[in-house]
Structure 1
Amino acid sequence: MTKYGISILLICFFGIFTCFAQVSADCANAVPICYNTPVNGGTNGYGIDDYNGASISGCITQGSGTIETNSAWYTFKIGEVGQLGFNIGFDSNEDWDFALYRTNDCNALGDPVRCNYFDNSDDSSYIGVGEDPTGIENIQYDDWLLVEPGEEYLLMINNFSNNNSGFSIQFSGTIFVEFPNSALDCDIIDNLLGPPIIACDNETVVLDATTTDAITYEWYLDAGTGYQRIPGESDPELSVAVSGMYRVLVVRPLGNNLISETQVAYAPSPETYELEDETACLDGTVIDFNEKDAEALGGQSPLDFRVSYHESFEDAFDGANALSKEFVPTQVSQTIYVRTTSIENSMCFDASESFEVEGIELPILDFDTEVYICGDEPVVTIGQRIPDASFAYEWSSGQTSSLITVAEPGVYTLSVTNTQGLIQCITVRSVTVVFSSPPVISDITIEYEDDASNMVNVYLEENGDFEYQVDDQAPQNSSVFNNLFPGEHTITVRDSNGCGSDTRDIVVVGFPKFFTPNGDNVNDVWKVDGLSALEDPVITIYDRYGKLLYQIFEDSSGWNGSFNGQLLPESDYWFKLSYTNSLGENTNASYINNHFTLKR
């Protein structure tokens, strides 16, 4: 844990003080806001109709009578250049809306530059401009304003719910970080003692009534029972330590005495207590920061203080970029900075504590999740090649090493555990082991109609994950090839998992299944198409006893069904095809259905 010394910076102010209500239901009497934000104890109705009977102004629409229901009007003037926003805080059971106008003329409001009308169905505690201070995504927020010195604004806040426990205003934005005391122009308030002051209970407020020709000063305090003289106080400055209404009487020589009043309200200052460090696996595990709020608050009430968590001390100090309470660590080591803020006044905060979030890395497993065992390799080794000695390994099959050797197909799961104290971070990875055998071509059939239409079917002894290829063409998943050119081809079948291949040479030619040599000039001769695609092709025809009957060469007109001038009977006859292959070897063609029928 680390403590930091801090100094209070007047960035924004927030509070609810029912005993010192500052609220005006009419635009003409809008309460001026300086660098101290006025607070109130609720609204009750409206005075005159500032919208002159209109039914709509920006996103605010007419209710049962006028646009205003229970309204409060405020005005402020910009003193610097920058980004400005504000948060309107209220009871989450109530429904408040607002409209912001860039003007100081109540008779010419125009359209609002920022406007909210959503009902409070998600039970938010804030509406406003900029970002919800709790860090949640809140649709009841409009975009930041970019403001210039001299711009004047009117803000109407309206209560549309039956409950009315009041609201508060908290300014935000970079302009209040860069110019905490001049972001808003205080000349808008014409008062010797200045605007109302909201302070933290560990501060001393000094009221300054210095007047050039003053003889003496009388100071009074109304703590709820009327103004009472403060004994012994006659200096132009008064150090204030309690909440109340303060009055000064400035006694002047000519009797033209001055009287000025202002409000001072103190909000409780929180203390952030020491928080325990957290440890979690870096696997998306959520650390619930809501449960750490009680640690930060100690015995302080969550109704009085809000706890937020930040990635840097600067963000914690500024109350910016609050982390989600459902925090997912992504780093091995990270410091989380804690801010405890008064709900009444966000100026009162403590950003002195932090804690560490230690992330436990998950074991990294990078081995293949699919492994194939080829038929000629009966075993295979699977798992993590380079183990970490600080991790524990366990397989679903019972082994406790990072690598195992298996000889059976199946799914093998490895669990690797990184143990840090009482926390175990586990990575799981599974391997599917598949046996795969090389393909074996059992048969090839060739169906030939003509040189442009044919079909080759490849048959295997066993099914598997195979790819089929003819010659040098791209492999395909189908075992059927269509419309191959006549001639010699090489069919290759490969195991897709790298477990071998089988190759066959085929010849694509066509021949009729029968012929009728009866002199009608139809099918009178039997011949083979596509021989011109082969080198030195020879067709040799036999009878069923293997007797050589005839030979057909490339330029032959075919066989007429006779032998030595004698007509042969009707019967089945056989043939073989020989040719010179691409290696220059004389060979017989395979996979040709080499018989046909002679009919008379």
Structure 2
Amino acid sequence: MKGKCALLVLSLILAIQNLSAQVSADCASAIPICNDTPVNGGTQGFGTDDFNGASETGCLEETTSGAIESNSAWYRFRTGASGELGFNIGFDTTEDWDFALYKASDCGSLGEPVRCNFFDNSDEEAYMGVGEDPTGNPETVLYEEWLQVEPGEDYYLLINNFSNTNSGFSIQFTGRIFETNPYDALDCSIIDNLLGPPVVACDNETFEIDAETENADTYAWYRDTGAGYQLLEGETTSVYEVTESAMYRVVVSLDDGSSLVSDVQVAFTEAPTAFPATDETLCSGELYFDLSMKDSEVLGTQDPEKVRVSYHRSLSEAVDGINALPREYPLMIGTETIFARTTSVENSGCFDASTQFQLTVGSSPVINFETDVYICESRDAIVIGDLDPNPDYSYSWSTGENSPAIGITNEGTYSVLITNTADGLGCETTATVEVVVSLAPKITEVIIDDLRPENSVEIITDITGEFEYQMDDGPFQPNGRFTDVVPGIHTVTINDIKGCGQVTETITVVGYVKFFTPNGDGVNDEWEIVGLDALQDPELQIFDRYGKVLRVMDKNSTGWNGTYQGHDLPAADYWFRLTYTDPRGQRVEAKYLDAHFSLTR
């Protein structure tokens, strides 16, 4: 049963026409082909069984003929260069064709095919082959991957009709090898023919076939357009100028009484036209120009499935069909000429590169001012916009003002339309400025984690803003956590990066346990504060829940053992108050201390 498979796609098409030509049903008489490729007008039978009764070769299986071949055609070719090579086999979409490609020097040692396709044509595709479908169909299953060839490799190609109804096929070689070696990608020396290999030309040109032969007496030319060869009256020279697709024959009478007969196929592909395209004016702010928007102008009434459009920076590149510009073409300020080329999908040798258009790109205004602005809650007004304006720019604000910069007092969204008036193209850019009120910073809480080998302090604020934090005279940092803080008096600062002020607080770092157990076991028998010696004239008062002072301590005092006037106090919570003399000589109370601890018995 015939199945499905995957493919790879990309092609450079050389030729395709629907015209009867040479065909051989047997491998031994395979038709040699090279750069100009033939078109077959239908196959009839399979001649000798080239597989000697085998039921399969590669992907090909036995057909209704009882053999692998069924209405078959054999061709051979030899590579003349290295590179990526493929081919397209075109046929009627209602028909089912298969192929097998053998890398071999003779029919007696074909081996297994290097490329093979036996999938049915239920999708009614128009092409099969190696490389890419020329229509760009990514879903087709009738294509095998590209060949990577070297010079001097011989190949045999079997094309087989599976449906037993056929109107013929065409073969077109494809691949990047024809870009690097357009004249010797395939070796034409394998064709020994007076008139040479089959020829594919464009219908807007004429082609001469030359039968010049030594010792010739007379030349007679014939043409076959499908009803047999007919004598071309009056054509008696060695050269004949061809103007229409047909099979041509020359009979050369030699002076020894013998004669030579040679046939050649000449097929013409419809040449495309590149219609005029209008000039384009754009602004650099658009970044890219979609060149495909020009396709409809360049194509005119031509079918985009049959004619492709490409764009190039120079006429020579357009003529050679190289260095096509990307469809999303990056814009460059100034004027440049874009050259358009139309190319026949069937025959890339048929093209027109006579059309060009001007692409002019004006300079869009550049925004060089802040678009995210903060206004301090304590400030009356700020200025937004361009403080160093370009003299070629004009400005139109959503407030109705036309100056480069404006003063505002309220938060909100402000927009300005900026126009470049220098080049007459009027390129515009719209800028949106978001103004947000920034609140002054505030210290909400200071968390002091002490009685550890490394004390830490964390500054907390409930104000939303962009702040930086500092301890004493140290550097500002983006967060409020400080480590390795020594005991003593410190200043902590929060600064608004947007310039909306700062706040500073004095904190005291000392250490104390949160509970003690005066039970005489030698562990936590006394409660005390560590670090009082870092303060000047410290005084510590301990209270019970009713505010009664139970003990007053200074930096020379021993710890509190949980007694009052010689009596043990009950297990309960107790509080303390710490005061000291600050560097200004004022008596102050330590802030941000959790002045609470527990007595446990």
Distance 1:141 1:339, change over 3 A: farther
1:292 aligns with 2:283: no
Deviations 1:314-337 (A, max 9, x none): 44223345456x544433344332
State which drifts further: 241-250 or 297-306: 297-306
The TM-score with structure 1 as length reference comes to 0.75
Q: 1:247–1:259: 8 Å Cα contact kept in structure 2?
A: yes
**Structure 1 unaligned runs (5+)?**
1-10
State which drifts further: 567-576 or 276-285: 567-576
1:218 aligns with 2:220: yes
Please state how far the C-alpha of 1:530 moved relative to its aligned partner: 1.0
AA matched with 2:109 = A
Between the aligned partners of 1:572 and 1:260, the Cα distance in structure 2 is 122
Distance 1:63 1:561, change over 3 A: same
Deviations 1:370-412 (A, max 9, x none): 2222244332222334445555544444444442322212233
State which drifts further: 359-368 or 565-574: 565-574
State which drifts further: 88-97 or 272-281: 88-97
Distance 1:589 1:298, change over 3 A: closer
Please state how far the C-alpha of 1:350 moved relative to its aligned partner: 2.3
1:506 aligned residue: 507
- CA RMSD between the two structures: 5.2
What is the identity percentage for the equivalent residue pairs of Structure 1 and Structure 2? 41
AA matched with 1:210 = E
The TM-score with structure 2 as length reference comes to 0.74
Distance 1:118 1:498, change over 3 A: farther
Between the aligned partners of 1:500 and 1:243, the Cα distance in structure 2 is 89
1:489 aligns with 2:468: no
1:6 aligned residue: none
Please state how far the C-alpha of 1:279 moved relative to its aligned partner: 3.3
Deviations 1:482-526 (A, max 9, x none): 996543333322335442222222223356899999x98999998
Q: 2:81–2:186: 8 Å Cα contact kept in structure 1?
A: no
Between the aligned partners of 2:115 and 2:424, the Cα distance in structure 1 is 52
1:186 aligns with 2:188: yes
Between the aligned partners of 1:179 and 1:464, the Cα distance in structure 2 is 67
Deviations 1:558-584 (A, max 9, x none): 568999x999999999754325x6x59
Q: 1:132–1:141: 8 Å Cα contact kept in structure 2?
A: no
Between the aligned partners of 1:37 and 1:156, the Cα distance in structure 2 is 15
1:357 aligned residue: 359
Between the aligned partners of 1:129 and 1:508, the Cα distance in structure 2 is 81
Deviations 1:111-141 (A, max 9, x none): 4445667888999876655677778989957
Instruction: Output aligned runs, 1:234-245, within 5 Å.
Output: 234-245=236-247
Between the aligned partners of 2:328 and 2:163, the Cα distance in structure 1 is 34
Please state how far the C-alpha of 1:85 moved relative to its aligned partner: 2.9
1:27 aligned residue: 27
Q: 2:81–2:184: 8 Å Cα contact kept in structure 1?
A: no
2:529 aligned residue: 529
Instruction: Output aligned runs, 1:72-221, within 5 Å.
Output: 72-78=73-79, 80-83=80-83, 85-88=85-88, 90=90, 99-113=100-114, 140=143, 142-143=145-146, 145-148=148-151, 150-157=152-159, 167-172=169-174, 176=178, 182-221=184-223
Between the aligned partners of 1:32 and 1:361, the Cα distance in structure 2 is 59
2:279 aligned residue: 277
Deviations 1:339-391 (A, max 9, x none): 23345543333222222233344432243332222244332222334445555
Q: Secondary structure at the match of 1:289?
A: helix
Between the aligned partners of 1:177 and 1:597, the Cα distance in structure 2 is 91
Between the aligned partners of 2:83 and 2:538, the Cα distance in structure 1 is 96
Distance 1:96 1:335, change over 3 A: farther
Instruction: Output aligned runs, 1:360-399, within 5 Å.
Output: 360-388=362-390, 393-399=395-401
AA matched with 1:217 = Y
Please state how far the C-alpha of 1:14 moved relative to its aligned partner: 0.9
Q: 2:441–2:503: 8 Å Cα contact kept in structure 1?
A: yes
AA matched with 2:232 = I
Q: 1:280–1:287: 8 Å Cα contact kept in structure 2?
A: no
Aligned partner (choices 318, 321, 328) of residue 319 of structure 1: 321
Distance 1:314 1:537, change over 3 A: same
Please state how far the C-alpha of 1:50 moved relative to its aligned partner: 4.9
Between the aligned partners of 1:162 and 1:587, the Cα distance in structure 2 is 113
Q: 2:90–2:171: 8 Å Cα contact kept in structure 1?
A: no
Please state how far the C-alpha of 1:455 moved relative to its aligned partner: 8.3
Between the aligned partners of 2:187 and 2:34, the Cα distance in structure 1 is 6
Deviations 1:292-321 (A, max 9, x none): 34x435566667654433344344223345
Q: Secondary structure at the match of 1:215?
A: strand
